[in-house]
Amino acid sequence: MNKYNLNNSYKAVVIGGSAGSFQGVVKILSQLPKGFPLPIIMCLHRLKHVRHGFVEALSLKSVVQVTEPYDKEPIKKGGVYLAPANYHLSVELGNYFALSTEEMINNSRPAIDITLGTCAYVFKDKLIGILLSGANKDGALGMKQIKDRGGLTIVQDPSECMIDTMPKSAMALTKIDYVLKIDQIVDFLKELNKHYRT
Amino acid sequence: MQEIDIADLRRISELIYQKYNYDFRNYAMSSFKRRVQRILDLKKLTIDSLIKKLNEQPAFIHEFLDELTVNVTEMFRDPGFWRVMREEIIPSILLNHKQFKIWHAGCSSGEEVLSMAILLKEMGIHQNVQIYATDLDVNILEKAKAATYPVKNMDLNEKNYIRFQGAGSLKDYYREENGQAIFNRDLLSTVTFRKHDLVLGEVFNKFDLILCRNVMIYFNQTLQNEVLKKFHESLFKYGYLAIGSKESLIWCDYANRFIVVNNEEKIYKKIKD
């Protein structure tokens, strides 16, 4: 029953993804248990100059409305957030978001390393990091920071990824707790949810 | 790699404040930390050697500020914003004033100042508008005054200009020389560049329009409040304030003295003194 040995101490889930991750994210969001207790913070590579459409596309099938946070917006339990186009998304101590227009990292803005790294700093061992399909190494360093601070790390099974560079880079850089297919990630989140219900 | 801790960041911001009178004490922590880390990496320094250098080499402060502040910008960033400027905001100012003043607060390397100058030129009112462009970093102000950018940046700028639906081509406004795009001097003839610190600086003039896009994101909420107060004081009644598309005033004390005139592009109007 409890395949993943979870508990109810986690404070946030952070997801990174790039090329080939869209369908996976849609699936995860569409099968998310109702009233999922943690914020889900997503940094997905996207076109820099297209502000509209992405969050709407993700929200179509999602159980929860996905929003692109404003600078200094407080993080709410159960909120599903997406890094806005052409901004880096950070989390600050005190549980709110901060945006920035700093240089691209790994050729990306938003950069997954920034979102994952700042989440790791703020949530420490109360964080679950999930890295999905993608064509560059962005996110690998962020996953290492999550692991180094005691968080739990998951990558999408490379055999299922359209492009497996991203999860493989993370696996090469740090210990990954679970290598899972999207359906298993959904199960993982369902199991996690149960721990907050009892 | 040793992670920088908050105590180190506070030592640095306190030192810069005491010794050089620049106040970074209320900057947003996550980006401030990345900027300091970036300087350590670029200059191959440790926290202690950085502090020593700041203490012992006063000339280093400008180089330091130049890297600490974020100077990533584009011409016509968010083309939709610039269309709203051309089609709604500036025409509405013109209803009451033939001549008016604009402040670019935190102008960085000047891309937005040039965008505005081009926009005004295409509206045929370039000579009627006095522009003030300020930044705390003197090195970046020199770059803004030079209005010279690597040609490789022009691709993105041109794409933005096309989305803005400008009257011609961006190429009409610059010539290329040794890999640099040099903009026509005439565009900046109505611009006053000056060093000004949003945090410690005084209110220095009154404006009909202030642009401060993606600058306050580097401040914490306390500082955002203080700076908004200064903008409020620097605006004529019914003057406009434009901030970045993902910035918001709703967490600021002075928010109720403004109304949103365009929520999509985050353009506000001062309605109360």
Which DSSP state fits B85? I
Statement: residue B263 has pLDDT above 60? yes
Is pLDDT at A52 greater than 90 in this prediction? no
Cα separation, A15 vs A142, in Å, equals: 11
Contacts of B251 in chain A (CB under 8 A): 72
- Is A92's pLDDT higher than 90? yes
| Inter-chain residue contact B246 with A84, CB threshold 8 Å | yes
Task: Sort B259 into a burial class: Cβ within 10 Å, 0-12 / 13-18 / 19+.
Answer: exposed
Task: Find the residue in B nearest to A141 (Cα).
Answer: B1
Is pLDDT of B255 > 60? yes
Query: Is the Cβ–Cβ distance between B198 and B229 less than 8 Å?
Result: no
Counting the structural domains of chain A, the total is: 1
Give the Cβ contact number of residue B269 at 10 Å.
19
> Would residue A35 count as lying in a domain?
yes
Torsion, CA B179, CA B182, CA B183, CA B184, rounded to 10: -140
The secondary structure of B33-48 as a DSSP string is HHHHHHHHHHHT--HH
Crossing angle of helices A112-123 and B29-43, rounded to 10°: 120
Chain B residue closest in CA terms to A90: B30
In A, which residues are within 8 Å of B70 by CB distance? 100-103
Q: How far is B29 from chain A (nearest CA, A)?
A: 7
Q: Is residue B207 predicted with pLDDT exceeding 60? A: yes
DSSP B196: -
Enter the tokens of residue B203. Answer: 């209110």
* Domain limits for position A137: 12-195
Whether B30 contacts A118, CB under 8 Å = yes
Are the beta carbons of A41 and A73 closer than 8 angstroms?
no
Cβ contact, residue pair B78, A51, below 8 Å: yes
A51 and B248: CB-CB below 8 Å?
no
Chain B residue with minimal CA distance to A85? B246
Supply the DSSP string of chain A, one letter for each residue: --TT---S---EEEEEE-TT-HHHHHHHHHTPPTT--S-EEEEE---TT--SSHHHHHHHH-SS-EE-PPTTPBPPTT-EEEPPTTSEEEEETTTEEEEE-PPPBTTBSS-HHHHHHHHHHHHGGGEEEEE---SS-TTHHHHHHHHHTT-EEEEE-GGG-SS-HHHHHHHHHS--SEEE-HHHHHHHHHHHHHHTT-
Per-residue pLDDT, averaged over B218-233, amounts to: 96
pLDDT tops 70 at residue B2 = no
Q: How does DSSP assign A106-134, residue by residue?
A: TTBSS-HHHHHHHHHHHHGGGEEEEE---
Record: contact B72-A101, CB cut-off 8 A: yes
CB contacts < 8 Å between A and B, how many?
Answer: 67
Per-residue model confidence (pLDDT) at position A80 = 97
> Is B54's pLDDT higher than 80?
yes
Domain-embedded: residue A2: no
Cross-strand pairs, A96: A74, A92
What's the confidence (pLDDT) of residue A48?
A: 81
Token readout for B204 is 């220095």
Residues of A in contact with B247 (CB under 8 A): 70-71, 99
- Is A72 part of a structural domain of the chain? yes
Cross-chain Cβ contact A98/B30 below 8 Å: yes
pLDDT at A132 over 60: yes
User: For the residues B37-51, what does the mean pLDDT come to?
Assistant: 95
Contact A100 B218 (CB under 8 A): yes
Q: Which residues in chain B are contacts of A99 at CB distance < 8 A?
A: 217, 244, 246-247
Q: What is the DSSP letter of B202?
A: P
- Provide the 3-class DSSP secondary structure of residue B123: coil
The structure tokens listed for A115 are 């979102």
Please report which confidence band the pLDDT of residue A3 belongs to, taking 50, 70 and 90 as the band edges: confident
For B159-194, how does the pLDDT look when each residue is reduced to its tens digit (9 = 90+)?
999 999 999 999 999 999 999 999 999 999 999 999
For residue A1, the model assigns a pLDDT of 53
Q: Report the pLDDT value the prediction gives residue B79, as an integer from 0 to 100.
A: 96
Cross-strand bridge partners of residue A129: A14, A153
Enter the pTM of the model: 0.95
Query: Are A144 and A117 spatial neighbours (Cβ–Cβ below 8 Å)?
Result: no
Inside any domain, residue A3: no
Contacts of B20 by beta carbon, 8 Å cutoff, 6+ apart: B58, B61
- Res. B199: pLDDT tops 60: yes
Q: What is the mean pLDDT of residues B205-224?
A: 97
Return the residue of A nearest to B29 by Cα.
A92
Chain A residues with CB inside 8 Å of B245's CB? 51, 84
- Cβ atoms A113, A137 nearer than 8 A: no
- Put simply, the answer to whether B246 touches A100 (Cβ < 8 Å) is no
**Residue B88's Cα: distance from chain center in Å?**
22
CATH number of the domain within which A88 lies: 3.40.50.180
Task: Name the 3-class secondary structure at B94.
Answer: helix
The stretch A141-161 carries a mean pLDDT of 98
Tokens of A173: 């850089």
Of B80, B160, B217, the CB nearest to A98: B217
Could you give the ipTM of this predicted complex? 0.93
Which pLDDT score, from 0 to 100, does residue B37 have?
A: 95
- For residue A92, which amino acid is it? E
Q: How are the residues of chain B apportioned to helix, strand and coil, as percentages rounded to the nearest 5?
A: 50, 20, 30
List chain B residues with CB under 8 Å of A73. Answer: 248
Question: What does the block give as tokens for A78?
Answer: 């159960």
Compute the average pLDDT of residues A8-32: 96
- Mean pLDDT, chain B, integer: 96
**Closest-CA residue of chain A to B266:** A70
Who has greater pLDDT, B150 or A51? B150
* pLDDT tens digits, A157-197: 999 999 999 999 999 999 999 999 999 999 999 999 999 98
Output the pLDDT for position B250: 87
Among partner residues B80, B224, B246, which is closest to A99 by beta-carbon distance?
A: B246
The β-bridge partners of A152 are: A128
Quick one: pLDDT at residue A149?
A: 97
Distance CA A17, CA A25 (A): 8
Residues of A assigned a catalytic role: 18, 45, 138
Residue A95 included in any domain: yes
Smallest CA-to-CA distance from B100 within B228, B229, B206 is with: B206
pLDDT at B1: 55
Phi, psi of B141 (to 5 degrees): -65, -40
* Residue among A68, A73, A92 minimizing CB distance to B28: A92
Whether A165 is covered by a domain: the verdict is yes
- A46 belongs to a structural domain: yes
Given this model, what pLDDT does residue A197 score? Answer: 86
Q: Compute the nearest-CA separation of B78 from chain A (Å).
A: 7
Walk me through the domains of chain B, giving residue ranges and CATH numbers: 6-68 (no CATH), 79-270 (3.40.50.150)
In a domain, A7, yes or no: no
| Number of other residues whose CB lies within 10 A of the CB of residue B239 | 24
